[in-house]
Amino acid sequence: MRLNEEQKKILDGKKGRILQEAMRGLVKYGDGMDAEEFIPISSAHTAFSAMNIVALAFPPRGRKLTGEDIGRFSDEIAVTRAKVKTTVNPGIIDRKKWRQMGADEATYNSVIRTVDIARKCGIMTTYSCIPQLTDNIPLFGEHYSWCESSSHPYINSFFGARTNRDCYELSLYSALLGITPNFGMHLNENRKGTDLVDIQCELENTSDWGALGFFLGEELGIGIPVFNNLKRPAVEEAIQLCASMNSSGAIPMFHIPRMTPEAPTVEAAFAGNEPRNTYIFDESAKRKVYQHLSYKPEGKVDMVFLGCPHETLYDLEEIARMLEGKHVARDTKLWVETTSSIRDAAEELGYAQIIEDSGAELFADGCLLIYYINTPAKWPKMDRMATDSPKNAFASRRSFHSNIFFGNRERCIEIAIKGGV
């Protein structure tokens, strides 16, 4: 990595330990990825959920952090301001409804302390996994450092913005320094299509779009698909497509001709590349994804989870319509997840009331997986779950060993009302 004079000073520690460590991390990352230089970024999206987790991005490493380590680190980072607009991924509790989640007061207090430190750093605790639609809207051709696996293909493919799938440490370092190593999706040559995907079936709901994404991740592994014969997705469909492809694989971008800004045609999307392979997504391929993601689906369902990635206001309106006048079964939970700003709007519009009157819970700021992995809480039973999200189905099977029903939203709501499959 070539560093300018200012960057060398930071690396030498002349601007303090936090920035020095951030620069060390970015130089290592850049060297590892054969980047030659840094580029300025316009925004970052990172994770900032609790100081004991944020502190892991900085030394001391290789030993359990003590309360004193975390306190010292918190004081140091609180006087370091992010150089660019920075938003954050879902956190570990719902700050308004943490008691309903079963979280304890100590966890709540530690999150509130973390929010205060983030504010001092100029980091916006938006706790959203759809920041591109809420608080961190990208622009064509701008460079970013984002950590959310479902958002990065969205902003590369629909906005023509440029980000790699950075982890939370690297996106935090990039946020603090306002730069990121120039490699991968930041470079024109890496944004060309690699494989052709021909769509030969109807995509009827968001779960079908998720199934397409999951298929791509499994088949391509790593690559940049170019679609043929794909209709234009709605925002909610695009969200599921993007989230699923990075559950089963690693797809940083795709081209939908006449929709992706860099792809007016299929030929332009390949930009001279010969397609490595052609894949066909038809009814049989779609059915296989549904079968693959469901595991022992039949029987009593303990938890129905909607909102991975976070539900939009439009999703909440639809869920409210489906639940109006109905009631969730007594021994089944229906959890719906979104961001705080969308929940506020849903409260004003009356959707939240309808959802909660049905016995469902409308949570904000987090996600089931992040809650579960990081929060000491009394957890509801999750022996069998139902979800409309391939990402959630895939991850819940692995994280909670739950039996899974994967199906569309309407079917999931029916299951919540009935209490089983």
Give the interface with ligand F3S as residue ranges (CB under 6 A).
89-90, 129, 150, 243, 308-309, 337, 367, 369-370, 391-392, 395
In the complex with ligand F3S, which residue's Cβ is closer, 150 or 260? 150
Shortest Cβ distance from residue 370 to ligand F3S (Å)?
Answer: 6
Shortest Cβ distance from residue 276 to ligand F3S (Å)?
Answer: 28
In the complex with ligand F3S, which residue's Cβ is closer, 240 or 294? 240
Shortest Cβ distance from residue 188 to ligand F3S (Å)?
Answer: 29
Q: What tokens were used for 274? A: 């010969």
State CA 181 to chain mean position distance: 22
Shortest Cβ distance from residue 131 to ligand F3S (Å)?
Answer: 11
Nearest C-alpha neighbor of 132 from the set 40, 17, 44 = 44
Sign, Cα dihedral of 150, 156, 161, 167 = positive
The conformation of residue 263, written as its DSSP 8-state character, comes to: -
Shortest Cβ distance from residue 421 to ligand F3S (Å)?
Answer: 22
In the complex with ligand F3S, which residue's Cβ is closer, 208 or 337? 337
Shortest Cβ distance from residue 286 to ligand F3S (Å)?
Answer: 21
Shortest Cβ distance from residue 109 to ligand F3S (Å)?
Answer: 23
Shortest Cβ distance from residue 366 to ligand F3S (Å)?
Answer: 8
Of all residues in this chain, which one has the CB nearest to ligand F3S in the complex? 367
At 336, the amino acid letter reads: V
- In the three-class reduction of DSSP (H, G, I as helix; E, B as strand; rest coil), residue 199 is classed as strand
Please tell me the distance from the alpha carbon of residue 41 to that of residue 9, in angstroms, as a whole number.
Answer: 20
Nearest C-alpha neighbor of 305 from the set 376, 215, 369 = 369
In the complex with ligand F3S, which residue's Cβ is closer, 195 or 388? 388
Nearest C-alpha neighbor of 10 from the set 19, 79, 25, 178 = 19
In the complex with ligand F3S, which residue's Cβ is closer, 130 or 269? 130
In the complex with ligand F3S, which residue's Cβ is closer, 1 or 395? 395
Q: φ and ψ at 139, to 5 degrees?
A: -125, 155
The conformation of residue 324, written as its DSSP 8-state character, comes to: T
In the complex with ligand F3S, which residue's Cβ is closer, 1 or 364? 364
Q: φ and ψ at 314, to 5 degrees?
A: -65, -40
- In the three-class reduction of DSSP (H, G, I as helix; E, B as strand; rest coil), residue 368 is classed as helix
Residues 6+ apart with CB under 8 A from 248: 213, 214, 215, 216, 217, 218, 390, 394
Q: What tokens were used for 90? A: 């879902």
User: Cβ(166)–Cβ(174) under 8 Å?
Assistant: yes
In the complex with ligand F3S, which residue's Cβ is closer, 21 or 365? 365
Structural element, H or E, at residue 317: helix 313-323
Shortest Cβ distance from residue 270 to ligand F3S (Å)?
Answer: 30
How many C-beta neighbours within 10 Å does residue 359 have? 17
In the complex with ligand F3S, which residue's Cβ is closer, 246 or 358? 246
User: Cβ(63)–Cβ(81) under 8 Å?
Assistant: no
